[in-house]
Amino acid sequence: MVLLSLIATHSDVDLETVARLSAGASQVSSSLLETGSAVTGSVVLATCNRFEVYCEAKSEADIEAARSAVVAEISRHSGLSKDLVSRSLDTNTGESVAKHLFAVGAGLDSAVVGEREIAGQVRRALIEAQEKGTASGGLTRLFQTASRTAKDVGALTALGKRGLSIVSVALELATDLSMDTDWSAKDVVVFGTGAYAGATMALLKERGCTRISVYSSSGRAESFTASRGGTPLTRESLPDALAAADVVIGCSGSESQVSAGDIRRVRKSSNKPLIIIDLALTHDFDPDVREVDGVELITLESVRLAAPAEQVESLKQASSIVADAAKAFSELQLSRQMDSAIVALRRHTLNVLDSELEKVRAQHGCTGAAEEVEFAMRRMVKQLLHVPTVRARELAASGQQDDYIKGLEALFGITLDQPVERRRPSAPHGPAHHGSTEADNSEDGADTAASA
């Protein structure tokens, strides 16, 4: 089995394209396996700044077919052409798969370097895939190791100890833009009830903000505020809350955007300035709201540009931890694959030995001579297997494990059995966790406007 990943991130692709690729993200993994493609397992990681598909294929020879299958499914679910999808996705194979994911989970590839929220998203991506039955054994080990590596980076380096995240940087920008920096005096409206909205509420309270109202287009505001505080809003009470607001924060990714005309209409009798923070991947607010008099708009791009650089030494330490973990994981994967090959060769050889020994026993019975022959033959087989076992380790270390496996097939007719991964029963397909609706965001706590 081999791992590969197809990656579109804020570093290489504009956020609008990332959002379009993410449309229907939750269906991609299941449909890949249902089509009977070269893909034997799949996990999708979709956040505000990235869309990544991790796959397991049967062999190196299946990588291109697996990539084509992934591109086709993303195209089908997003409505984008295969050519655009293919051009937007970088492909990682081998050790690069682990190194990239481990860096992502540790916050090294985030818009705000060192932020910790992405580690939770990596963990939830695996849980979602396990619930749908798409996470193979290799992918499960990959994502579990990524989570452990993220914990190591957090424990062994100073990276991220300042608690920076997308929303914390956005709130700092809002503070800088405000005439009054006292958050306890501000009226804030939050759009969304998912996990990221919950994190936003917590950070607002840390800054002393108590006058927080919450709106949910799916009607979840009352249950959300019952456990987290704040005032629930309905469609009828929303306009008055927006008219009185000092800050509005969007993290729902609702299908219906608030337009510049909507803001002008509800704010026509208000003279105080308004700061809008739009953290949703698919935008809760039309970018034209920045043209409204008295309105300042903070977007994900604003946050990315304002994010402070982490200390060089901490980043160096974290990168070293990630690189070492990726190398160790890749070596373990190769070792597991070669163990299967060695076991298959030994099983084949010992089966031949047992067959020949049966002939000896049938001819000579359980005599001393027969026992001496058996002892000699078993010792000879052990010696014969020594060199192939050593060579298996050597070839695995140099990345030539496929040559060894092909040699077994050519010389002995040994075909390795692919292990059957036990998967959890597929869960009913609910709304897409990373799609464009607020309901999607809140179903399993996936972060619609996640910080990486």
**Mean pLDDT across 47-51:** 84
* Range of lowest pLDDT (51-65, 286-300, 338-352): 338-352
Q: Is 340 exposed, middle or buried (0-12, 13-18, 19+ CB in 10 A)?
A: middle
SS3 41: strand
> How much is the pLDDT for 398?
66
pLDDT tens, 120-143?
Answer: 899 999 999 999 999 999 999 999
- Considering the chain, what percentage of its residues have pLDDT values greater than 70? 86
Question: What is the model's pLDDT at position 441?
Answer: 39
Cα angle, residue 215 at apex, residues 214 and 218 outer, rounded to 5°: 135
Per-residue pLDDT of 263-290, as tens digits, reads 999 999 888 999 999 988 778 899 999 9
* pLDDT of 443: 32
Q: Tell me the DSSP string of 267-308.
A: TTT--S-EEEEE--TT-SB-GGGGGSTTEEEEEHHHHHHHPP
- Dig out the tokens for 442 from the structure: 């809140």
Q: Is 400 exposed, middle or buried (0-12, 13-18, 19+ CB in 10 A)?
A: middle
3-state SS, residue 89: coil
Binding positions are 47-50, 110, 115-117, 121, 192-197
Rounded Cα gap, residues 73 and 185, in angstroms: 49
- Feature table: binding site for NADP(+): 192-197
Q: Are 130 and 140 in contact (CB under 8 A)?
A: yes
| Phi, psi (rounded to 5 degrees) for 21 | -65, -35
What distance in Å separates the CA atoms of residue 96 and residue 93, rounded to the nearest whole number? 6
Find the radius of gyration of the CA atoms of the chain.
Answer: 28
pLDDT in tens, 158-197: 876 666 778 888 999 999 999 889 999 999 999 988 767 8
Confidence check: pLDDT of 420 > 50: no
Lowest-confidence region among 13-27, 174-188, 214-228, 293-307: 13-27
Contact (CB, 8 A) for 213 and 189 = yes
Mean pLDDT for the stretch of residues 27-42: 88
Q: What is the pLDDT of residues 208-217, one digit of tens each?
A: 999 999 999 8
Percentage of the chain beyond pLDDT 90 is 44
The binding site for substrate comprises 47-50, 110, 115-117, 121
Domains and CATH numbers, the chain: 2-161 (3.30.460.30), 166-306 (3.40.50.720), 337-412 (no CATH)
Q: For the residues 317-332, what does the mean pLDDT come to? A: 90
Asked if 451 and 115 touch (Cβ cutoff 8 Å), the reply is yes
25 falls in which pLDDT band (50, 70, 90)? Answer: confident
Confirm whether 48 is a catalytic residue: yes
Helix (H) or strand (E) holding 58: none
In angstroms, the Cα distances linking 88 to 8, 51, 84, 264 are: 6, 10, 6, 37
The model's pTM: 0.65
| Residue-level pLDDT at 81 | 94
CB-based contacts of 314: which residues, under 8 Å, 6+ apart?
114, 157, 158, 159
Interstrand relation of 211-215 and 231-233 (parallel, antiparallel or unpaired): parallel
Q: In what order do the strands lie in the sheet with 211-215?
A: 231-233, 211-215, 187-191, 247-250, 274-278, 295-299
In the set 48, 55, 209, 251, the catalytic residue is: 48
- Which range is least confidently modeled, 48-52, 374-378, 431-435? 431-435
CA 260 to chain centroid? 34
Mean pLDDT, to the nearest integer, of 331-335?
74
Q: How far apart are CA 329 and CA 142, in angstroms?
A: 8
**Phi, psi angles (nearest 5°) of residue 181:** -85, 0
Distance CA 41, CA 158 (A): 35
Beta strands in 203-286 (DSSP E): 211-215, 231-233, 247-250, 274-278
Q: Are 103 and 452 in contact (CB under 8 A)?
A: no
Reported as half-sphere exposure (CB side, CA atoms, 13 A), residue 34 has a value of 8
